[in-house]
């Protein structure tokens, strides 16, 4: 597995397994299948409600802890210096681990500064190897960096052929922040899996559209965490390191960019309010 080196020297697999929208009752089996297929990077979140199932799968796998890279995220209702520290330990307990590899602020809302101070302390204590953020636009990312000691290692944002984030990636690179894609397949929107451009490239390489999308991201230096509950798709999604897109093919995919989210705008006041008021049940 190829890796990227984060700004604190930690190595992170460039391709991992995400569990967003996998029901808790299916997560343990799905993660077990993913680990059996060869995934070693797992991405979950407190808000997903399936951390315990991820932890059970890790324990059942028998894979040495040092061979895994585990990410989870802090939800808005747990923002703030005191609450963030407690939320971290809750997640750690649910996962059945003694440390995390990456802990992210899930949304750029609430007491982000307090949360970041708590996460910096957790990092100093050796409880988490790297800390970062998710869904931060450039202005919020710069603001966080300018007023704190630690530069986030990662910013996990919606990134796929229809919302490519090239300018955001450039800014992150200048700041030393690794871009990570969520929603790499855009949940099939805009006819992604049957798109003529992507399909033509896939046919030229004897690969699937999904593999072309993942290869396109990896070639751009984007960390990616595809999700599937089907073992054959899990294996297919890992099989993207034996071919390379040409410059012309990369340019063809670049023409698909709409420059806008296919899901929701993190700067929309109604969405900000909706996410900020969502309280986890714990």
Where in the sequence numbering do the catalytic residues fall?
48
Chain mean position to CA 118:
21
Q: Which residue has the tokens 């890790």?
A: 58
Nearest to 87 by CA among 107, 102, 103, 98: 103
- DSSP string across 83-141: HHHHHHHHHHHHHT-S-BSEEEESSS-SSHHHHHHHHHHHHHTTSBS-EEEES--HHHH
Residue 139 burial by Cβ neighbours in a 10 Å radius (0-12, 13-18, 19+): exposed
- DSSP string across 14-46: SB-EE-TT--HHHHHHHHHHHHHHT--EEE--G
Q: Are 208 and 195 in contact (CB under 8 A)?
A: no
Q: What is the DSSP letter of 265?
A: -
Give the Cα separation of 202 and 197 in Å (integer): 9
Q: Which residue has the tokens 């932890």?
A: 55
């Amino acid at each position: 597995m190829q890796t990227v080196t984060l700004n604190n020297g930690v190595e992170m697999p460039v391709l991992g397994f995400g569990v967003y929208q996998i029901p808790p009752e299916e997560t343990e089996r799905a993660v077990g299948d993913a680990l059996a297929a060869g995934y070693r990077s797992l991405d979950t979140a407190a808000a997903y409600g399936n951390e315990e199932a991820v932890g059970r799968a890790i324990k059942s796998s028998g894979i040495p802890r040092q061979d895994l890279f585990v990410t989870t995220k802090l939800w808005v209702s747990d923002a703030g210096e005191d609450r963030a520290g407690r939320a971290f330990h809750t997640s750690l307990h649910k996962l059945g681990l003694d440390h995390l590899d990456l802990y992210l602020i899930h949304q750029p809302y609430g007491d982000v500064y307090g949360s970041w101070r708590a996460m910096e302390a957790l990092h100093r204590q050796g409880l988490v190897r790297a800390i970062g953020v998710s869904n931060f636009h450039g202005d919020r990312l710069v603001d966080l960096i300018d007023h704190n000691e630690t530069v986030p290692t990662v910013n996990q944002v919606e990134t796929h052929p229809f919302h490519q984030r090239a300018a955001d990636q450039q800014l992150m690179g200048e700041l030393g922040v690794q871009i990570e894609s969520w929603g790499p397949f855009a949940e099939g929107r805009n006819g992604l899996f049957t798109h003529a451009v992507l399909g033509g490239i896939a046919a030229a390489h004897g690969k699937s559209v999904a593999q072309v999308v993942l290869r396109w991201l990896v070639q751009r230096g984007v960390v990616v965490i595809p999700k599937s509950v089907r073992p054959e798709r899990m294996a297919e999604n890992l099989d993207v390191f034996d071919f390379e897109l040409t410059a012309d093919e990369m340019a063809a995919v670049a023409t698909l960019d709409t420059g806008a989210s296919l899901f929701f705008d993190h700067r929309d006041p109604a969405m900000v309010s909706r996410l900020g008021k969502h309280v986890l049940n714990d």
